[in-house]
């Protein structure tokens, strides 16, 4: 299907405007809508979704948006409000769709009714009508069910995301946590949801009708066995739901890790380097303190030893003098008077531990006398020589102590210089990294996600074991119930129904799972083929994977997820490829309407992306909107002679018109 034209009457800034998308034969079905910001490009998209689904799906904020009814129309209606309290106004959007060969046409029209008072514009309701052109004549479709079915057939609401795009969000289609987009798309277009509904209907009948018949039976064995079976089934269902949640959580973690890796890419050492920088900084500070302390120690050493060296001649000469006096017996012996007194009192030698005789006591008496008469000078000199010897000893050890201190200082300074050099190198490394803070944050978050992922995997493993145990219990209990039922003839009919319903449910379930698996696999192949065909950078990617929980993977040549590290243009192209694949696999060939398609695409890839869209327009209708900033000289040249229609919108007196 393609759009022939759109008519807008009193819809937001549009009073009466028709945009045609005619495509002369042999031309590409490519159409450009060009306008400055605020003129109403996105409101064309809103008009389409409002007309088809009664909802403006591309509004900035629906709660603060002005009413749909054109403000000039509101003003005019208010001017004619004389005695009446309110009057009615309406907004209309008409869209004419046609098949590619033009043989069938279908016109969707929605009229919004508004009650206009002096103070407010109140929506009253909308009328939706469809006209169908078939076999040369227009017929109105009155039946509501048929109307809905025509919308569903041609532009199903569930997949409007895959027809009417907001280019600003295109690159986010496959970001973490967005798998619901893919799930909805695949389930809707493969019609797996219809099978699921039938499967649910059987299941509901089994649970709500048949099982209670067994549960409420007067046969206690059967009743309790059925109840137990129901309980086990509930536990199995809960376990399956948990496992599915864990799987999704694991895939979400994988996606987040891949995104973070794209930020970290090539800068894995940043975190280590930043930590190291901190340690090095601390070492530098503590070494500064240690060096200062060592220098102080050395200054004290110098200050002390200078006395010995500067006064060495004086020390030496006095030492020599005292020694000479001592040698010639001119100084009294170095004997402790108090020790002698104590020995005398005890009459026992405290040195050799022997009792003293008369002769010894007399000798001590004489010694004591000698000491009493010795001069103060002798005592002072005796005391001094001990200190002088200590000074001489110190001088003799000067070289050793000096070298030791100098070596220690040198060692500290070498360490300090080493750390300073390391600090310079780390800072140089970190200066070349564009956003160290973001990378550090990403490294930290990646660690957290990895550990979270490991935890979930462990819990999932436990849950899987639990599920297996429950299933074994279920099998055993089911056999037991079957045996009891078979024995009892009154349940024969119900049992047959139960067997039939369970069998139908299981077949439907298996069919649905198989269909989805097949569709997923087909989608993987088709998306990847389309992507690589359209992609300007060849040999970069190896495979697309859509996992069972619809997590999306784009693998590189080494089998690693690369979605997070793709450029915005590549991600947008992947979204387009997925859409095209989805439309192809489901045989639901829709147009593509992309609002500001290159808004998020970097300058280098803009032309690549435009060329890709031109390529797509060979096989299907593509409508693109541009702002003057996006539609620069290069884009203009690339699109020259490629499009069928070019519509420039301008705003005059608050009303959007075609220039």
Partner 1 sequence: MAKTALNIAKTYNNGFIANFENNKYFQLNKNATARADLYFFAIACAMMEKKEPTTLQTVGSIDSFVRIEYLKDDCPALLSSLYYEKILKDEPDKIDDICNRDEVYELAEKYANTGFGILKEWSESLEEEALFYKLIAYMDKKYEEIKDEVNKYI
* Chain contacts with partner 1 (rule: CB under 8 A): 295-296, 298-300, 302-307, 309-319, 321, 375-377, 380-381, 383-384, 387-393, 395-396, 398-399, 402
Query: How far does CA 67 lie from the centroid of its chain?
Result: 37
Number of Cβ atoms within 10 Å of the Cβ of 514? 11
- The DSSP annotation for 102-152 comes to SS-EEEEEEEEEEEE-SS-EEEEEEEEEEEEEETTEEEEE--HHHHHHHHH
CB of residue 298 vs partner 1: minimum separation in angstroms?
7
CA distance 541 to 535: 10
CB of residue 411 vs partner 1: minimum separation in angstroms?
18
CB of residue 442 vs partner 1: minimum separation in angstroms?
47
Sheet holding 592-595, edge to edge: 164-166, 592-595, 622-626, 30-35, 645-652, 655-658
Closer of 269 and 318 to partner 1 (Cβ): 318
CB of residue 385 vs partner 1: minimum separation in angstroms?
8
Closer of 304 and 471 to partner 1 (Cβ): 304
Closer of 371 and 504 to partner 1 (Cβ): 371
Closer of 330 and 348 to partner 1 (Cβ): 330
Listed in order, strand segments (DSSP E) in 468-546 are 541-546
CB of residue 414 vs partner 1: minimum separation in angstroms?
17
Closer of 216 and 296 to partner 1 (Cβ): 296
Tracing tokens 């479709």 back to the chain, one arrives at 141
End-to-end, the C-alpha distance of the chain in Å comes to 28
CB of residue 403 vs partner 1: minimum separation in angstroms?
11
Closer of 266 and 313 to partner 1 (Cβ): 313
Listed in order, strand segments (DSSP E) in 507-556 are 541-546, 552-556
CB of residue 332 vs partner 1: minimum separation in angstroms?
14
CA distance 584 to 162: 12
Closer of 244 and 317 to partner 1 (Cβ): 317
Under 8 Å between Cβ of 474 and 312: no
CA distance 525 to 523: 5
The torsion angles phi and psi of 325, rounded to 5 degrees, stand at: -60, -40
3-state secondary structure 519-531: HHHHHHHHHHHHH
CB of residue 320 vs partner 1: minimum separation in angstroms?
9
Give the β-pairing of 655-658 and 645-652: antiparallel
Closer of 321 and 500 to partner 1 (Cβ): 321
Which residues have CB under 8 Å from 114's CB, separation 6+?
A: 67, 68, 69, 88, 89, 90, 91, 121, 122, 123, 124
Give the β-pairing of 541-546 and 552-556: antiparallel
CB of residue 399 vs partner 1: minimum separation in angstroms?
6
CB of residue 330 vs partner 1: minimum separation in angstroms?
10
State the alpha helices, DSSP H only, in 265-357. 270-310, 312-327, 337-346
Closer of 120 and 379 to partner 1 (Cβ): 379
CB of residue 337 vs partner 1: minimum separation in angstroms?
18
Number of Cβ atoms within 10 Å of the Cβ of 542? 15
Closer of 406 and 507 to partner 1 (Cβ): 406
Closer of 319 and 474 to partner 1 (Cβ): 319
Tracing tokens 């039976």 back to the chain, one arrives at 217
Two structure tokens written together for 347 = 């009459």
CB of residue 297 vs partner 1: minimum separation in angstroms?
9
Closer of 393 and 414 to partner 1 (Cβ): 393
Query: How far does CA 506 lie from the centroid of its chain?
Result: 38
CB of residue 301 vs partner 1: minimum separation in angstroms?
9
Closer of 50 and 391 to partner 1 (Cβ): 391
Q: Report CA-CA distances (Å) from 171 to 86, 155, 239, 350, 620.
A: 46, 22, 35, 102, 21
Tracing tokens 């024969």 back to the chain, one arrives at 492
Task: Supply angle C-alpha 623, 627, 630, rounded to 5.
Answer: 95
CB of residue 304 vs partner 1: minimum separation in angstroms?
8
Which helix or strand (DSSP H or E) is residue 123 part of? strand 121-134
Two structure tokens written together for 266 = 């090539």
CA distance 503 to 231: 20
Report the DSSP beta bridge partners of residue 141. 130
The b-or-e profile of 195-227 (16+ CB within 10 A means b, else e) is: beeebeebbebbeeebbebbeebebeebbebbe
Closer of 180 and 399 to partner 1 (Cβ): 399
CA distance 630 to 633: 9
CB of residue 419 vs partner 1: minimum separation in angstroms?
21
CB of residue 310 vs partner 1: minimum separation in angstroms?
4
Two structure tokens written together for 160 = 């409007």
Listed in order, strand segments (DSSP E) in 169-209 are none
Closer of 304 and 454 to partner 1 (Cβ): 304
Closer of 312 and 500 to partner 1 (Cβ): 312
Two structure tokens written together for 607 = 């032309």
Under 8 Å between Cβ of 514 and 569: no
């Amino acid at each position: 299907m393609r759009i022939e034209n759109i008519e807008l009457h009193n819809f937001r800034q549009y009073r009466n405007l028709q945009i045609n998308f005619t495509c002369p034969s042999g031309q590409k079905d490519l159409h450009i809508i060009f306008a400055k910001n605020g003129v109403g490009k996105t409101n064309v998209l809103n008009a389409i979704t409002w007309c088809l689904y009664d909802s403006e799906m591309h509004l900035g904020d629906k709660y603060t948006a002005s009413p749909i009814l054109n403000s000039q129309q509101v003003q005019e209606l208010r001017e004619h409000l004389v005695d009446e309290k309110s009057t009615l106004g309406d907004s209309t959007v008409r869209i004419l769709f046609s098949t590619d060969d033009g043989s069938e046409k279908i016109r969707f029209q929605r009229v919004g009714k508004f009650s206009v008072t002096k103070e407010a514009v109140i929506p009253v309701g909308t009328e939706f009508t469809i006209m169908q052109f078939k076999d040369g004549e227009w017929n109105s479709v009155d039946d509501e069910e048929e109307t809905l079915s025509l919308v569903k057939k041609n532009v199903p609401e569930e997949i409007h995301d895959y027809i009417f795009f907001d280019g600003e969000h295109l690159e986010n289609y496959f970001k973490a946590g967005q798998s619901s987009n893919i799930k909805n798309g695949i389930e809707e277009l493969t019609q797996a949801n219809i099978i699921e509904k039938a499967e649910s209907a059987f299941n509901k009948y089994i649970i709500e009708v048949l099982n209670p018949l067994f549960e409420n039976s007067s046969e206690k064995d059967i009743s309790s066995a059925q109840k137990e079976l129901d309980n086990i089934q509930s536990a199995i269902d809960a376990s399956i739901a948990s496992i599915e949640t864990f799987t999704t959580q694991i895939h979400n973690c994988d996606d987040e890790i891949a995104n973070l890796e794209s930020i970290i890419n090539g800068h894995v050492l940043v975190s280590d380097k930043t930590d190291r920088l901190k340690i090095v900084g601390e070492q530098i500070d503590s070494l500064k303190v240690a060096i200062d302390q060592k220098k102080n120690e050395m200054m004290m050493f110098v200050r002390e030893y200078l006395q010995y060296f500067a006064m060495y001649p004086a020390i030496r000469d006095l030492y020599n003098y005292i020694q000479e006096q001592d040698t010639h017996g001119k100084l009294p012996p170095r004997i402790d008077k108090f020790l002698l007194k104590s020995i005398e009192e005890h009459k026992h030698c405290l040195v050799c531990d022997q009792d003293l005789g008369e002769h010894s006591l007399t000798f001590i008496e004489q010694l004591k006398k000698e000491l009493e008469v010795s001069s103060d000078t002798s005592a002072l000199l005796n005391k001094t020589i001990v200190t002088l010897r200590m000074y001489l000893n110190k001088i003799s050890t000067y070289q050793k102590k000096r070298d030791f201190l100098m070596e220690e200082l040198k060692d500290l300074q070498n360490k300090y210089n080493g750390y300073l050099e390391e600090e310079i190198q780390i800072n140089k490394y970190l200066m070349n990294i564009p956003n160290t803070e973001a990378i550090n944050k990403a490294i930290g978050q990646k660690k957290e996600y990895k550990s979270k992922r490991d935890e979930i995997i462990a819990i999932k493993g436990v849950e899987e074991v639990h599920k297996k145990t429950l299933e074994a219990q279920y099998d055993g209990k089911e056999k037991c119930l079957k045996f009891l039922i078979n024995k009892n003839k009154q349940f024969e009919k119900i049992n047959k129904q139960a067997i039939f319903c369970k069998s139908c449910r299981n077949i439907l379930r298996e069919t649905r799972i198989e269909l989805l698996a097949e569709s997923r696999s087909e989608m993987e192949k088709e998306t990847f083929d389309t992507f690589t065909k359209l992609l300007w950078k060849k040999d970069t990617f190896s495979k697309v994977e859509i996992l069972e929980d619809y997590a999306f993977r784009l693998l590189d040549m080494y089998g690693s997820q690369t979605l997070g590290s793709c450029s915005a243009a590549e991600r947008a192209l992947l979204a387009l490829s997925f859409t095209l694949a989805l439309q192809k696999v489901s045989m639901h060939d829709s147009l593509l309407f992309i609002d500001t398609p290159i808004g998020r695409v970097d300058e280098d890839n803009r032309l690549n992306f435009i060329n890709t869209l031109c390529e797509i327009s060979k096989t299907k209708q593509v409508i693109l909107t541009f702002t003057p900033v996006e539609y620069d000289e290069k884009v203009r040249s690339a699109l020259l002679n490629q499009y069928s229609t070019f519509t420039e919108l301008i705003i005059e007196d608050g009303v959007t018109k075609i220039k």
